Amino acid sequence: MYGLVNKAIRQMVIEGHGEETWQGIRVLAGVTDDHFVSLDPYPDDITYNLVGAASKVLGAKPETLLHAFGNYWVEFAWKGDYRHILSASGRTFSAFVGNLDQLHSRLRATFPEYAPPSFRVSDEGPSALKLHYYSHRQGLLPFVAGLLEGVGRRFHVQVSTEFLPRADGADHEMMLVSWGPEEVKPPHA
C-alpha cells in the first residue's frame, strides 16, 4: 500500500490517542521509520502489522479498527489533495459507489503501482444496492464498510452495511448497502 495510507493511520492514532500511543503501536508493529512518504509504495505487511499492533495496544478487534479507519479515511482524503477527484466521482451516494472503479482508475495516474480493489453494483434500488468487492487483499471488508458510511455522511445520508455470506467458490465478497432518508450532518470540509 502507499505511504498515504500509513500516514492516515498514524494521524488517526495520534488524533485519537496521542503521540505516545502511536509510538507504542509503531514499535510493536516493527515499523522503524516514523514518517511515511505519501507517494511511495510500502509492503502491505506494514499496514497489516500496524492494524494488528493497534488492536493489541488499544484493546479493540482489528475489524473494529479497520471500520473506524474507513470512516476516518474519507475525511482524510477529502481534506487532502484528492478532494477534486472525490468530488467529481458522483453527485449522489449511489452514483459515487457506482463510480468507485473509475475513481480508482484516476488515482492510478498518481500512484502507478496502485493495485486497487474492484467494485460492481447489482440489485440497485432507490435506497439499497448489493456491492460486489473484489480484492487480492484479505480482511479489508470492514474498512470498506467504514468507507461507505463516511461517504454517506458526505452525501447527508445514513448508511448501513450487511456482509453477505460468501458463496462456495466465489471470487469476491458481497455486502448489502442501504441508506435511509435521515439526513446526517456532514463533517466540516
Per-residue model confidence as pLDDT tens digits over 121-173: 999 899 999 999 999 999 999 999 999 999 999 999 999 999 999 888 889 99
Angle at 100 between CA 138 and CA 139, to 5 degrees: 10
135-171 as b/e: b if 16+ CB within 10 A: beeeebbbbbbbbbbbbbbbbebebebeeeeeeeeee
pTM of the model: 0.89
CATH architecture of 82-180: Alpha-Beta Complex (3.90)
Angle at 146 between CA 189 and CA 149, to 5 degrees: 60
Q: Residue 141 is inside which H or E element, if any?
A: helix 141-154
Give pLDDT, residue 159.
97
Residues 6+ apart with CB under 8 A from 148: 70, 97, 131, 159, 161, 177
Residue located via cell numbers 466540516: 188
62-79 and 44-58 helices cross at what angle (nearest 10)? 120
Residue 185 pLDDT more than 60? no
Each residue of 12-40: pLDDT tens digit? 999 999 999 999 999 999 999 889 998 89
Domain ranges of the chain: 3-60, 82-180
